[in-house]
Amino acid sequence: MAEPLVTRRGTLAVPTFLPDATRAGVRGASSEDLRGIGIEGVVVNAFHLLRRPGARVVQAAGGIHRFMDWSGPILSDSGGFQVWSLIRQDPNRGVIRDNEVIFREPSTGEKWNLTPERIISLQFQLGSDIVVCLDDCTDAGDPEPEQERSVERTVRWARRCREEFDRQLAERGMVDVPRIFAVVQGGAVEALRRQCAVALAEIGFDGYGFGGWPLDGDGGLLSEPMGWVAESLPSAAPKHALGIGRPDHVVKAFGLGYSIFDCALPTRDARHGRLYAFREGWSDRRPSVGDHFYRAVRIHDPEYRIDHGPIEEGCDCPLCTRHSAAYLHHLFKVGDLSAERLATLHNLRFYVRLFGLLRG
């Protein structure tokens, strides 16, 4: 059983789900909303915050916690994944080199020069509780030479991140220190995944993430590579399944030893009117791999126009305790902004309940 995750702003019981507050806000929900439904920590994205509003603005606000009114633990993702996907979609946006990443802002032409050191010092400026190393992402389908290069860079960058992290701690004379996570690459190549995990563990970090695009071509979880990585890392080390969030994927990854999850899926789905609900008889049972424990409610479907029951009988979220499925269907139909908020709170509450069941 994984140990609780101790941070300078509180201890997170595991497994824990940290919603994505990518640009310092969980879309559609306030910090007060999140606290009300039992969310304990959030993930922000250092790279996106560097672009907007900029580190100085957050620093002048007194740090990321004050800026967004969140007193619980905040993990800041480095943005390695985001910068890689943006450049992959459009190579004119920048280039990833052995020593740095150059990113050009398409709208303004502004140029960002991202180095491992810069990304770490940025996360100190934000005041994050869990700092994440810059990594060089790949897709599991990319050829092996690319995976090899990505592992080499990722390990080299992680060493530079660790050194910068230690330098920042010494320079700032910090007592309440943040933690630092590294991210394992290697695509779907067993030897590379294991080699990367072992090399990062030798450098020594407080936790490790499973990096790269986490799904195969059919949308299935990369369970085998996730298993190799978990096996090759110290067993007690916290393991972060980056960007993994489909409820059945969570159950699978948790079984493989991962205990920290973040994903935009529940909030994005909510905004599109896709809600999660436990199937009858599953709201108080711990699900195992292969169990059909939840269903998706597509609130736009005409059947909900006259469904005056809650989305899920027994759900204690602000939506289900006060409103019917028919009311939510109506709010979406007329474009009322509260539709997205209520759906978001329901989905996040579903995750809090699911993670409670997995904790046992």
Binding-site ranges for Zn ion (CB under 5 A): 315, 317, 319-320, 346
Q: Which residues pair with 130 in a beta bridge?
A: 75, 179
* Cis bond upstream, residue 19 (ω within 30): no
**Minimum distance, C-beta of residue 318 to Zn ion, in the bound complex (Å):** 8
The nearest distance, CB 27 to Zn ion, in angstroms, is 18
- Return the number of the residue (161 or 315) whose C-beta is nearest Zn ion: 315
Distance of closest approach, residue 282 Cβ to Zn ion, in angstroms: 14
Which is catalytic among the residues 77, 129, 136, 269?
77
Q: 228 with 212: CB under 8 angstroms?
A: no
Residue with smaller CB distance to Zn ion, 179 or 346 = 346
Is 262 catalytic? The answer is yes
Determine if the peptide bond prior to 53 is cis (ω within 30°): yes
- Contact call for residues 343 and 271 (beta carbons, < 8 A): yes
Q: How far apart are CA 56 and CA 40, in angstroms?
A: 26
CB of 315 to Zn ion, least distance (A): 3
317 vs 354, beta carbon nearer Zn ion: 317
DSSP 3-state assignment of 65?
helix
Q: Cβ of residue 244: shortest distance to Zn ion, in angstroms? A: 23
At closest approach, how far in Å is the CB of 309 from Zn ion?
12
Q: Which residues, in sequence order, are CB contacts of 185 under 8 Å at separation 6+?
A: 135, 136, 137, 138, 147, 150, 151, 154, 192, 193, 196, 211, 212
Tell me whether residue 169 or residue 357 sits nearer to Zn ion (CB atom).
Answer: 357
Instruction: Report d(CA 150, CA 148) in Å as an integer.
Output: 5
Q: State how far the Cα of 174 lies from the Cα of 41, in Å rounded to an integer.
A: 22
Closer CB to Zn ion, residue 257 or residue 266?
A: 266
Q: Contact at 8 Å (CB) between 121 and 168?
A: yes
**Candidate list 20, 136, 262, 269, residue with the active-site label:** 262
Residue 44's H or E segment, with its range, is strand 42-45
| Known catalytic membership, residue 216 | no
Count other C-beta atoms under 10 Å from residue 71's C-beta.
11
- Our CB check for Zn ion shows the closer of 46 and 325 to be 325
Q: What angle do CA 229, 235, 236 make, to 5 degrees?
A: 130
- What residues are labeled active site? 77, 262
